[in-house]
Amino acid sequence: EAQVTQNPRYLITVTGKKLTVTCSQNMNHEYMSWYRQDPGLGLRQIYYSMNVEVTDKGDVPEGYKVSRKEKRNFPLILESPSPNQTSLYFCASSLGTPGEHNEKLFFGSGTQLSVL
């Protein structure tokens, strides 16, 4: 089944403790992206990747890192999490750039992160 898989689904951590949220897609998509979702703010893009070893900042990249060593994986790294990073995080992927040739973005099920 074609899907975007992110783990964990729920995560509670403490300030300053490094964490990684994994994301994997099995559709051979070139484009992958991370979003955070906060009440009233919709989805805001953190980082995106056009292909292996190519990553770019989105609208809210501060406090986050990503890597794209393989096409299928796009982990989100919080080196020193802070309470303002408590949010619902979504990974997404598409064959090409969203909007180009009408490429559709497929989303994972989300990771609810709480930083105490």
Partner 1 sequence: GENVGLHLPTLSVQEGDNSIINCAYSNSASDYFIWYKQESGKGPQFIIDIRSNMDKRQGQRVTVLLNKTVKHLSLQIAATQPGDSAVYFCAENNAGNMLTFGGGTRLMVKP
Binding site for partner 1 (CB under 8 A): 4, 9, 35, 37, 39-45, 48, 50, 56, 58-59, 88, 90, 92, 97-99, 102, 104-112
Q: What span, in angstroms and rounded, lies between the C-alpha atoms of 107 and 88?
A: 13
Q: Which region holds residue 79: left if phi is over 0, alpha if psi is between -120 and 50, else beta? A: alpha
Nearest distance, CB of residue 89 and partner 1, angstroms:
9
CB nearer partner 1, residue 77 or residue 103 = 103
CB nearer partner 1, residue 56 or residue 70 = 56
For residue 49 the two structure tokens come to 């990747």
Q: What span, in angstroms and rounded, lies between the C-alpha atoms of 80 and 102?
A: 37
Nearest distance, CB of residue 109 and partner 1, angstroms:
5
